[in-house]
Amino acid sequence: MIEEVKVTKSIIKNAVDELLDNLDVDVVICGGGPAGLTAGRYLAQDGIKTVLFERKLSVGGGMWGGGMMFPKIVVQSEAKGILDDFNISYENDEGNLVSSSIEAVSKLTAGCWDAGCKIFNSISVEDVVIREKSVGGVVINWTSVETSGLHVDPVAVKSKAVVEATGHPLEVCSIVEKKTGKLNTTTGKIIGEKSMWAEKAESVVVENTKEVYPCLYVCGMAANAVYGAPRMGPVFGGMLMSGKKAAEIISAELKQKQS
């Protein structure tokens, strides 16, 4: 029998239990765009306890809209293995792979979830936890608190590593730059995203995927923005490969620390 208060209790109890289970984890991913979702899948698949916080109701970031709202994305052939891992279909169009942005977001999300990465939506990362000279977690609040401008203190989540995957605004790096004054860039500061040059942007995004501050790893569009590289328009292979690389370096780092 469906009884309203029972429904209410089921929802609140299960949601709170899930959040409580994910307050002390191996990795926190900030942002559920293509890079964050890809990182989440490969980390969780490797047995690493991973949680992803997404500001909006829906994950997927800038992928839903394809290019100028034509719901197609281009993925270069180097990233074909990742499309295959997520069972995302594609057409080969003059050497580039073309997929539906709707199918791609849905399957990246399902792949991330099925691998065991916990995804929490409507939660914004508004700060980081700092221990000595490294990042030790994130500070979160409901997005609705942020958007309504309420003065409500946030809460903290502990993790061994944090992934900055907030895309163009690189919110986590901005906070760390402001509060610690030193990132692992040539200037110690955010260098800033450059104008479009797809070929160059895609060739450097994987290289720019690295530890930008102790225990803080940057991937996706944020990686090019922090290291002063160009944007690439609706080409998404670099986002997928960057997310995968972030997972690989963090996984190797955590295993080394454990041994």
- Interface residues with ligand 48H (CB under 6 A)? 30-36, 53-56, 61-63, 124-125, 165-168, 171, 196, 220-222, 231-233, 239
Closest approach, Cβ 62 to ligand 48H, in A, equals: 3
Q: Between residues 218 and 254, which has the closer beta carbon with respect to ligand 48H?
A: 218
Q: Between residues 46 and 236, which has the closer beta carbon with respect to ligand 48H?
A: 236
Q: How far is the CA of 225 from the CAs of 96, 136, 193, 233, 235, in angstroms?
A: 25, 23, 4, 14, 16
Q: Between residues 47 and 192, which has the closer beta carbon with respect to ligand 48H?
A: 192
Closest approach, Cβ 170 to ligand 48H, in A, equals: 9
Q: Between residues 7 and 150, which has the closer beta carbon with respect to ligand 48H?
A: 150
Closest approach, Cβ 198 to ligand 48H, in A, equals: 8
Q: Between residues 53 and 160, which has the closer beta carbon with respect to ligand 48H?
A: 53
Closest approach, Cβ 235 to ligand 48H, in A, equals: 7
Long-range contacts of 253-259 (CB under 8 A, 24+ apart): 253/161, 253/211, 254/26, 254/27, 254/48, 254/160, 254/161, 257/160
Helix-helix angle 198-205:237-258, to 10 degrees: 10
Rounded Cα–Cα distance for residues 117 and 44 (Å): 5
Residue 205: CB atoms within 10 Å: 28
Closest approach, Cβ 150 to ligand 48H, in A, equals: 16
Rounded Cα–Cα distance for residues 154 and 152 (Å): 6
Residues in the chain: 259
